[in-house]
Amino acid sequence: MTIKLNVGIIGYGYASKTFHAPLITTTEGLNLSAISSSDENKVKQDFPHITVYADPQALINDPSIDLIIIPTPNNTHYSLASQALAKGKHVIVDKPFTLTLEEAEKLTQQATDAGKLLSVFHNRRWDSGFLTVKKLLADKTLGEVSAYEAHFDRFRPTVRQRWREDAGIGGGLWYDLAPHVLDQAICLFGEPKAITADIAQLRPNAKNADYFHALLEYENLRVVLHASMLVASPTPIFAIHGTKGSYVKYGLDTQEDALKAGCLPNQTYNWGMDNSDGELTTLSDSGELETTTLATLSGDYPAYYQQIYRAITLGEENPVTPIQATAIMCLIEAGEISNRLKQTITL
């Protein structure tokens, strides 16, 4: 018999509605049983029979909830996760893990002491392009990689009134998108020797970072991570160069747009399929450069929650451990220091 885990989500904003609720409700063994929200009608439109709590504390105190998801504003992650762990719940926090390295270390220790799963939703590990790059490097198709570049560019010239773009720690692209590309880089290459980061506000009336350019230094490798809100033309999502050739990929993963449109993984043919194939340039047998199209693997966001279920019920591996997420917070803080001092920070 399948063990059922009751899941509660704190808040019902964009991340909850677009990512977490659809993925939870389509994962076998997970039962979305409660959501906390100040707008009950908004929740009931999507889930008429679900329990809605007016405040997070009531959800955290519900003894029937096994797993609590925290896709709330970044400055609430630490306190809510700490409260949930104190009540004996398993916890998933949206990225970034916390606001500071100290908070990340405290939560990691608290989860260890409580014997509860604590994970961070670094979903971009299951992007189509990243899964393709991961296989490409594992297969040594490019030989020894010397340069890796990842972009997460958008064209949003108008500053929006939302917490992600508000002033203060936890807002802006360095806390919103840098955790994604930093996590991908660490998954591929491990922790760097040093980081140099340029973080800026470039749009008129911007209140927080809308641009970053970070360089991670490795022994024989340089990693460039870049994001901007003022890029109208397509830029490569990945550009990777090695001793045997190069790989360039345009086009973001399709899963977010599919979820936003109301598509569900278990009801959609070819879920995660990416029609934006990459270009692979290598030396032919005759010694000439040869460019071919490399099919992009399908993205797989459902894999995260499927593994969460197995980790809790079967003791299998946590898909994103708090130690891994803490390493990202270390880089976030080092990048902030680098930008402030205008110098490279050795790790």
State the DSSP string of 19-32. IIHHHHHTSTTEEE
What does the pLDDT read at residue 267?
A: 86
Predicted confidence (pLDDT) at residue 284 exceeds the cutoff of 90: no
Q: What share of the chain is helix, strand, coil (3-state, %, to 5)?
A: 35, 25, 40
Q: Are residues 160 and 231 in the same domain?
A: yes
Helices 178-189, 128-138: axis angle to 10 degrees equals 20
Tell me which amino acid residue 288 is: E
Does residue 38 fall inside a structural domain? Answer: yes
Q: In this structure, are residues 145 and 220 in contact, taking their beta carbons and an 8 Å threshold?
A: no
Q: Which residue has the tokens 């692979």?
A: 280
Q: Are residues 140 and 117 in the same domain?
A: no
Confidence of residue 164 (pLDDT cuts 50, 70, 90): confident
When pLDDT is averaged across residues 124-134 and rounded to a whole number, the result is 98
Does residue 43 fall inside a structural domain? Answer: yes
What does the pLDDT read at residue 65?
A: 98
What does the pLDDT read at residue 258?
A: 96
Model pLDDT for residues 237-262, shown as the tens digit of each residue: 999 999 999 999 999 999 999 999 99
Q: Are residues 21 and 161 in the same domain?
A: no
Does residue 327 fall inside a structural domain? Answer: no
Confidence of residue 169 (pLDDT cuts 50, 70, 90): confident
The C-alpha atoms of residue 230 and residue 227 are separated, in whole angstroms, by 9
CATH number at residue 61: 3.40.50.720
Q: What is the extent of the structural domain holding 29?
A: 5-121
Least confident of 19-28, 157-166, 255-264, 285-294: 157-166
What does the pLDDT read at residue 2?
A: 82
Q: Are residues 159 and 274 in the same domain?
A: yes
Least confident of 1-5, 7-11, 248-252: 1-5
Q: Are residues 177 and 42 in the same domain?
A: no
Predicted confidence (pLDDT) at residue 1 exceeds the cutoff of 80: no
Beta-carbon contacts of residue 104 (< 8 Å; ≥ 6 apart): 97, 98, 322, 325, 326, 329
Domain-terminating residue out of 93, 121, 149:
121
Q: Are residues 10 and 136 in the same domain?
A: no
Look up the pTM and report it: 0.95
The pair phi, psi for residue 80, each rounded to 5°, is -70, -40
Does residue 41 fall inside a structural domain? Answer: yes
Domain-terminating residue out of 76, 102, 121:
121
Domain-terminating residue out of 121, 137, 170:
121
When pLDDT is averaged across residues 227-240 and rounded to a whole number, the result is 97
Does residue 323 fall inside a structural domain? Answer: no
Q: Are residues 94 and 175 in the same domain?
A: no
When pLDDT is averaged across residues 260-271 and rounded to a whole number, the result is 92
Does residue 335 fall inside a structural domain? Answer: no
Q: Are residues 117 and 38 in the same domain?
A: yes
Predicted confidence (pLDDT) at residue 31 exceeds the cutoff of 80: yes
Does residue 69 fall inside a structural domain? Answer: yes
**Structural domain count, the chain:** 2
Q: Are residues 111 and 255 in the same domain?
A: no
Q: Are residues 144 and 175 in the same domain?
A: yes
When pLDDT is averaged across residues 222-235 and rounded to a whole number, the result is 97
Model pLDDT for residues 174-195, shown as the tens digit of each residue: 999 999 999 999 999 999 999 9
CATH number at residue 172: 3.30.360.10
Q: Are residues 231 and 293 in the same domain?
A: yes
Does residue 307 fall inside a structural domain? Answer: no
When pLDDT is averaged across residues 151-167 and rounded to a whole number, the result is 89
When pLDDT is averaged across residues 123-147 and rounded to a whole number, the result is 97
Q: Are residues 107 and 180 in the same domain?
A: no
What does the pLDDT read at residue 287?
A: 83
